[in-house]
Amino acid sequence: MAAGRHRDRRTPGRVRRPLPWRRNCPNNGTATSEGPRRSGVAARTRSASFPPVEPLHPIPGMSDIMTDASRSSDEVLELLRASGARRLRAVRLRSNRSTVWSLTRGGSQLNLHRAFAAAPEEVLEDLAVIARAGGLAVPEAREASRRVSEWAPLHRELERIRAEPRRAGRPVGPCCATSDQLGYLRRMYRYLNRSRFAGRLPGGVPIRLSGRMKSRLGHMKPCVVDGRRRVLEIAINADLMLSGNDDIRHDTLVHEMAHAADWLFDGEVGHGPTWQWWATYAGCESRACTTSRIRQTPQGSAVSRVPPLPLAARVLLDADG
């Protein structure tokens, strides 16, 4: 047990992780546990995205922003730590289209929009408040995030980046699903949307399987596009496709769909009262964590199983055509 895992005697060859399993959803006060980067896409936990705004003036390029005041990521890290963000071990500067900051690796890495390399001291102090709080869990951090989001050069840079063509098919994270597994997940989403959410959720929400989740079962990523709330993706732990994990797979999918409903209809993230209302409405466990036993593949193994659709799903979807 010292290594944090042990062999599950009932399922030889498989390992079981310590409980509880977490549904790591936005702003729920938990940290990411995804493994190292494999495809250049960072794991995100608490993050902030902002809608486009009307440019105040002709949009400058980065060269207009990156003045002599621009800093390296290490210099930004040093300033943030000097402002009290002592948990931070790394800062990564990125040219995102909408995400302006995110905390990963248990709150020790702050991923910042590249525009912040030239941010004035007061903006960096607000970022230090967010990093110190480990996200948006406290009012002070939420207020700091609001001020950060209003920094005009950031919006100008976002506008410039959005004017560039988006790379087609760019994934949010690596998806390890086979085409049959994706077909299953999409059909389950349609079925659960109809049967648990009265069809109120949008169709076509991207769903992927993650082989990198170590102690999480899934997540829902919110975003804002053209001023409207959207669902960037729902991701599910690939181990949930194993036989024996059927109940927890269904519950996790409904859990994340409840997050989607909470975000789209109530503008909320996390496991607060509105999410609990949706969870109860849809009939999933209304808790962030679960103590259910989860079967796992040995580390590094792929999961190719495609679970059978429930009979009720086949009937409903066949009737839909």
- Binding interface with Zn ion (CB under 5 A): 23, 25
183 and 207 in contact (C-beta within 8 Å)?
no
Smallest separation (angstroms) from Zn ion to the CB of 108: 22
Closest CA to 91 of 218, 83, 193, 165: 83
Smallest separation (angstroms) from Zn ion to the CB of 172: 17
Q: Which residue has the tokens 């800093």?
A: 71
d(CA 286, CA 272): 10
- The tokens of 227 are what? 């001023």
Distance of CA 190 to the CA centre of its chain: 21
d(CA 201, CA 273): 19
Nearer to Zn ion, 73 or 104 (CB): 104
Smallest separation (angstroms) from Zn ion to the CB of 274: 12
Nearer to Zn ion, 98 or 252 (CB): 252
Nearer to Zn ion, 73 or 215 (CB): 215
Smallest separation (angstroms) from Zn ion to the CB of 20: 12
Nearer to Zn ion, 45 or 104 (CB): 45
Q: Residue with CB nearest Zn ion?
A: 25
Q: Quick count: other Cβ atoms within 10 Å of Cβ 36?
A: 7
d(CA 133, CA 139): 10
- The tokens of 74 are what? 């290490």
Smallest separation (angstroms) from Zn ion to the CB of 279: 9
Smallest separation (angstroms) from Zn ion to the CB of 269: 9
In sequence order, what are the residues at sequence separation of 6 or more whose Cβ sits closer than 8 angstroms to the Cβ of residue 197?
A: 257, 261, 281, 282
Nearer to Zn ion, 83 or 102 (CB): 102
Nearer to Zn ion, 88 or 235 (CB): 235
- The tokens of 40 are what? 């250049």
